[in-house]
Chain A
């Protein structure tokens, strides 16, 4: 056999959604275990994927294991459908699984995300797949896997509060703004992936299934629908989400997470929805922000 045909054969024989069925079964078992023990990090034999570690290999493996031909996939990075890595992952699944893709949150059955939870409330039957870089919430307090596993097993989470205490003692308030640790169903402390803490309340009692995949660290965990997810805090320093002083400059939305866009070199800036789909739909409905006209022109 010549080299060329061998490679061609290799390409031609890629399975639906890239992973072989045996691997998918292994990953589904890990997912099921994760759902059965909410917030518990299930080790799995993460495969090498055709994208680099740290670029969503965990999320991609989870998505590849649960996706079927009838699914509609949405992929976001930083809340946006058009960021390069989201485009790349969406194109990957369009190619290897030939599924329908969408940017509409409401239309998607599976949403793979990096760093955000969509603003639109997720509904029953939807699955949100998070890409997770470091699944261990205790990692930066205790680098050793053998030790952190023991701490989880014994629910020894005092150290987590020591970190929050230090924040308040030093800064006057809890200075963790993203990857803000949560306690799931009163048992496991979990890293919500580096989403801004603004999104933490959306995880609580969500109607959708939330799956977390960490490829490089070889862990899968899950928050089943209607599960208690509480952000860690102190009684007298309760958990608070970020608030923005102004609404989205394009669609005028309040109470959403905003990105800061630098407009010029004289300190001019505007704040716009990080969730691009949410913003577009609002504008389609006729909502306008104070800069929507100008920004449209500038984009032309």
Chain B
């Protein structure tokens, strides 16, 4: 791992009127590191994810990102053009519902190829080849390349969404409950695939989940949130095996009882 973090989050808070979305959250994310943000629904984990991925303006705090030139930049001081460019090249965002992250009426090939075209790739053959390659890597057979995602199963759509995000070789990917809404067997296969891709590509990932099993399988480090605040952070194995905060203990024990 590099000796500098990729993402620095400091003092991020988001208030909706007098209601707290998340409060005073700080952390650093290192290249190749997978951080899981866990908590129940309403704990503020999605708000936090949106704040650090520039999808939602925080009320306070800063989020800075180490660009490819090595310079840290404050994401909320960038121009919109630059920020949008960053989002579609160096970043990825995997939505819980694939329909939110895909163009449902456009073929799988074009869904994967869109980011390439957006950054100026103008050779149809190359775009198609790259798309086919990525479909293969997420276990979608090449003969589905011209089909629209609406004819895909939930698991396939999610894998397509992942391919669409990874095609430009991003360094950082945000995931919002990537296995939510899938059958248990499909979940397991997707998690396996994700773990392989993350390792192979050395991706840094921030994954939001309410499912401690997802956190255990994917993440190196985890952050437990409750009522908008971080109640515990640590290496995933440590937090799950030896939770310190009473809330984490409750969370872990309730899972284990199931």
| A touching B, CB within 8 angstroms | yes
Chain A residues with a Cβ under 8 A of chain B: 153-159, 161-162, 165-166, 168-170, 233-237
By a CB distance below 8 angstroms, the chain A residues around B109 are: 165, 169
Is B117 a contact of A166 with CB atoms below 8 Å?
A: no
Is the C-beta of B122 less than 8 angstroms from some C-beta in chain A? yes
Is the Cβ of B84 less than 8 Å from the Cβ of A236?
no
Q: Flag the segment in B15-23, B57-65, B123-131, B181-189 that touches A.
A: B123-131
Docked pose: A169 CA to B108 CA in angstroms: 11
Residue of B nearest to A235 (CB): B123
- CB nearest to A161 among chain B residues: B117
Q: Which of A155, A168, A170 contacts B124 (CB 8 A)?
A: A168
Q: Scan B83-126; emit 1 where CB is below 8 A from any A CB, else 0.
A: 01000100000000000000100110110011101110011110
CA distance A233 to B123 in the complex (A): 9
Query: In the assembled complex, which residues on chain A have CB atoms less than 8 Å from the CB atom of B107?
Result: 166, 169-170
A159 close to B114 (CB less than 8 A):
yes
What is the minimal beta-carbon distance from A225 to any residue of chain B, in angstroms?
A: 28
Contact A235 B122 (CB under 8 A): yes
CB atoms of A162 and B123 under 8 A apart: no
Inter-subunit contact B124/A234 (CB<8 Å): yes
A-B complex: 8 closest residue pairs judged by Cβ atoms: A158-B118, A161-B117, A234-B124, A154-B81, A235-B123, A158-B117, A165-B110, A162-B110
**Given the complex of chains A and B, what is the CA–CA distance between A125 and B109 in angstroms?**
47
Which residue of chain A is the closest to B116 with respect to CB atoms?
Answer: A158
Say yes or no: B115 contacts A158, CB within 8 Å. Answer: yes
A156 and B80 CA atoms in complex are apart in Å by 12
Which residue from chain B places its CB closest to the CB of A158 in the assembled complex?
B118
Partner of B114, one of A158, A235, A236, A237: A158
Asked if B146 CB lies within 8 Å of chain A CBs, one says yes
Question: Please, which residue of chain B has its CB at the minimum distance from the CB of A151?
Answer: B84
Q: State whether A237 and B117 are in contact (beta carbons under 8 Å apart), knowing that A162-B103, A162-B110, A169-B146 are contacts in the complex.
A: no
For the complex, what is the distance from the CA of A187 to the CA of B88, rounded to whole Å?
Answer: 20
Cβ–Cβ < 8 Å partners of B119 in chain A: 158
| Main SS class of interface, B | helix
Smallest CB–CB gap between A181 and chain B, Å?
A: 14
- Interface size classification for chain B: 20 to 34
Contact residues in A for B81 (Cβ distance below 8 Å): 153-155
Residue pair A236, B117 in contact (C-beta under 8 Å): no
Q: List 10 A-B contacts (CB under 8 A).
A: A153-B81, A154-B84, A155-B81, A156-B84, A157-B118, A162-B114, A169-B110, A170-B146, A234-B123, A234-B127
In the complex, A274→B39 CA distance in Å?
A: 69
Please indicate the chain B residues that have their CB under 8 angstroms from the CB of A236 in the complex: 123-125
A101-B109 Cα distance, complex, nearest whole Å: 53
Q: Known pairs A166-B106, A170-B146. 14 more at Cβ < 8 A?
A: A156-B118, A158-B115, A158-B117, A158-B118, A159-B114, A161-B122, A162-B106, A162-B113, A162-B114, A162-B117, A165-B113, A169-B145, A234-B124, A235-B123
Chain B residues positioned under 8 Å from A235 (CB to CB):
122-124
A239 CA to B179 CA, complexed, in Å? 43
- Tell me which residues across on chain A come within 8 A of B123, comparing CB atoms: 234-236
A236 to B114, CA, bound (A): 17
Measured in the bound complex, the distance between the Cα atoms of B55 and A257 in whole Å is 50
Bound state CA distance, A179 and B88, in angstroms?
29
For residue A237, give the distance in angstroms from its CB to the closest CB of chain B. 5
Q: Which residues of A contact B114 (CB under 8 A)?
A: 158-159, 162
Tell me the smallest distance from the CB of B182 to a CB of chain A, in Å: 27
Residues on A with C-beta less than 8 A from B80 are 154
Q: How far is the CB of A156 from chain B (nearest CB, A)?
A: 7
Q: What is the CA–CA distance of A153 and B109 in the complex, to the nearest angstrom? A: 27
Tell me the smallest distance from the CB of B64 to a CB of chain A, in Å.
Answer: 22
Complex alpha-carbon distance, A109 and B109, angstroms: 49
Closest beta carbon of chain A to B16's beta carbon, Å: 24
Cα-based distance from A234 to B128 in the complex (angstroms) = 12
Cα-based distance from A155 to B208 in the complex (angstroms): 32
What is the CB-to-nearest-CB distance from B195 to chain A, in angstroms, rounded to a whole number?
Answer: 30
Cβ-defined partner of A165 (8 Å) among B84, B88, B115, B127: B127
Give the chain B neighbours of A165 by CB distance below 8 A. 109-110, 113, 117, 124, 127
How far, in Å, is A77 (CB) from chain B's closest CB?
34
Could you tell me the distance in whole angstroms from the C-beta of B132 to the nearest C-beta in chain A?
A: 11
Bound CA span A236–B119, Å: 17
* Nearest Cβ on chain A to B50's Cβ, whole angstroms: 19
CB distance from B90 to the nearest CB of A (A): 16
Q: Which residue of A lies closest to B79 (CB)?
A: A154
What residues on B are CB-neighbors of A166 within 8 Å?
Answer: 106-107, 110
CB of B118 within 8 A of CB of A234, answer no
Q: Which residue of A lies closest to B84 (CB)?
A: A154
Tell me the smallest distance from the CB of A40 to a CB of chain B, in Å: 16
Q: How far is the CA of A170 from the CA of B146 in the complex (A)?
A: 7
In the bound assembly, the distance between CA atoms of A168 and B114 in angstroms comes to 14
How far is the CB of B4 from the nearest CB of chain A, in Å? Answer: 29
What B residues does A153 contact at CB under 8 A? 81
Q: Hey, which chain B residues are within 8 Å of A170, CB to CB?
A: 107, 146
Closest to B81 in A: A154
Closest B residue to A150 by CB, please name it.
Answer: B80
User: CA of A20 to CA of B251 in the docked complex: distance in angstroms?
Assistant: 75
